[in-house]
Structure 1
């Protein structure tokens, strides 16, 4: 179980919303239920702002047992991830030097506002951030490669186009890629071997055909990165897809999901 700590200055608004919301979202997700222990703390704790309860009650989220905690009282505990929610807390993350990850989500303090709208806005922003965090850090994770290695792989234009084509088609053979990319088979094979050896692609034989595809246990953060590139640069492989669609009687895999 991963231990998550939300850290803010007063532990009276933003971090309380984050703690209650993430607990709620974890219970609603089969991929994350029982995977996280969530806490919050503040550098100079204050009482929980009543508008926190208003927002949580409006969204039918359990607001019981919310208490303000002094961050320094937790500094001897290990947290897998410490998420700071304001600039001041971000400067104090040295309190938890053994944490596996330190993340900063900067949200404007809603307390100085006279009404509750700022609290609702913070809630909406936190919901989007937490949803992405849970999607990328739930089950089905593996130690395939790190971010540096992935971006090195994607920095090569040919490898990037190979990944984008397989992203669309689910699986492709060396012959299909050679025709779509208009490069030699040995060159395509060299790049496919690198992608396979890194763990980003798997190969599978069906008769005389070998198809390359993404492994089923590819980490969600890698899939999300590939999705972002594909949707952010939709015209990247237009010509390749046209050439691919022009291949007559193209063999397609039968057993790759």
Structure 2
């Protein structure tokens, strides 16, 4: 999980992951041409992503193609989800909102109907 967290800490690497998610396998050249940084810098980012297991590569002729392996994100996603649970205050506010709606509904139904005759 630490390797994955370290890999996605960099905005360039996150952008590479998004490209691979949205477009599927891409060659190293296709990835590099979308950045203003040097090709060796992009290559280093791809090496980090490959080392963390977030991307797989395949050599086809003289080109290396990269593909996303999102399964490596699962442990980190599970861990992060634990922080997204409602706090005690959120539960209390939800209960308060429910009570306000119930009270308003009861007041509407308790009003005597006006005689329009």
Kindly indicate whether residue 34 of structure 2 is the aligned counterpart of residue 180 of structure 1: yes
Equivalent residue, structure 2, for 1:162: 16
Q: 1:177 to 1:196 in 2, by over 3 A?
A: same
1:210 and 2:64 aligned: yes
Give ranges in structure 1 of 5+ residues lacking alignment: 1-145, 226-257
Residue 149 of structure 1: how far off its partner (Å): 2.8
Question: 1:214: Cα distance to partner?
Answer: 2.1
Change (3 A) 1:211 1:170: same
Question: Displacement, 1:220?
Answer: 6.5
> How many corresponding residue pairs?
78
Q: Kindly indicate whether the alpha-carbon contact (under 8 Å) linking 2:54 and 2:73 is maintained by their aligned counterparts in 1.
A: no
| Aligned partner (choices 215, 221, 227) of residue 74 of structure 2 | 221
Q: Which residue does 2:25 correspond to in 1?
A: 171
Secondary structure of the structure 2 residue equivalent to 1:211? strand
Give CA deviations for 1:163-188 in whole Å, capped at 9, x if unaligned.
11111111111111111122211000
TM-score, scaled to structure 2:
0.57
CA RMSD of aligned residues (A): 2.4
> Matches of 2:17 and 2:62 in 1, distance apart?
23
For structure 2, the 5+ residue unaligned runs are: 79-117
Greater radius of gyration (CA)? 2
Give the secondary-structure state (helix, strand or coil) at the position aligned to 1:202. Answer: strand
More helix as a share of residues: 2
Q: Greater relative contact order (Cα 8 A, min sep 6): structure 1 or 2?
A: 2
